[in-house]
Amino acid sequence: MDEHAEVIGELRDAGVLAAIRWAYESAARRALEMYSPADGHDVAWLGNTRYVLLRDRLDRVFSCDRYQAFEDVTGVADLDLDLLYAELPEEDIRAMPAIAPGLMVRADLHGSPGWACRAGRFLITSGEYGHVDTIQWAYKSLTKRVVALQPPPARHADFDDALFGIEEFISPGEPGMRAFPRHGLELPTFVVAHSLEPVSGEIELIFGRPRMNTAGGPAWYWIEDLLATPLPATWITGAPVRLRLVPSETAAAPAEGR
């Protein structure tokens, strides 16, 4: 089985892809509701607001950061539903996928927010509507550029160390490149790219392995359209949720700034 099928299959079966879709659709709707050019908002405001809301909703659905579930003496995790659902509209609460706390953990990479499980880590990035499949990685942050310079899937599978020889894939003359700490890069790292058309409200959302395209060529080794991922049936309990924690083998990498 190739990497695309293996990673997407594992994340789909675990409900992770549906959770990412839920988080982005919720964030995009909320950002559009607040967006008002008449009040001085511009595209940069919309993009930053969407980013903050997406990060927040990913933390909510994965029980990370301030929404972390704490294990009690019986080995059961308590979720604070008042905090979890704060400011969410009823439709988002009903549609939020039920992901067991501990399945995903925060695994930021040098200041770039990330979430990880056994299948690997994913980061988030925005793109121009209609062009998320042709992102120019050379114009993204240093972290995103280094992630795009990971060895391709076929070669990656041949290495005992996922990033053995990463220096071979970094051009010394590339603008802005410097020594990049390797800690945290042992995890295969993917990217969720998203876009929003502010007039029509149309969105794009894909998950894939980025490919450095400084000299042209494809921007991805493979991608998956997450808008084609079905959301689960709506659910709401109205009672405190107590879910057994799933042990995690992945530790979050320390952040070092963007």
Cβ–Cβ contacts within 10 Å for residue 178, how many? 7
pTM (2 decimals)? 0.80
* Residue 184: per-residue pLDDT: 55
Distance CA 188, CA 147 (A): 9
Q: How would DSSP label each residue in 101-168?
A: TTSSEE--BTTB-EEEETTEEEEEEE--TT-GGG--GGGS-HHHHHHHTSPPHHHHTT-SSTTTTGGG
Cβ–Cβ contacts within 10 Å for residue 135, how many? 24
Distance CA 249, CA 117 (A): 8
Please list the ranges in the chain whose pLDDT falls under 50.
155-180, 234-258
Question: pLDDT by residue (tens digit) across 124-167?
Answer: 999 999 999 999 999 999 999 999 998 888 644 443 333 333 44
Element (H, E) at 224: strand 220-225
Question: pLDDT by residue (tens digit) across 22-48?
Answer: 999 999 999 999 999 999 999 999 999
Cβ partners under 8 Å of residue 225, min gap 6: 205, 206
- Structure tokens that stand for 217 in this block: 């060529």
Distance CA 253, CA 251 (A): 6
Angle between helix 3-13 and 16-34 (nearest 10): 70
Domain range annotation of the chain: 3-244
Beta strands 120-126 and 242-244 are: unpaired
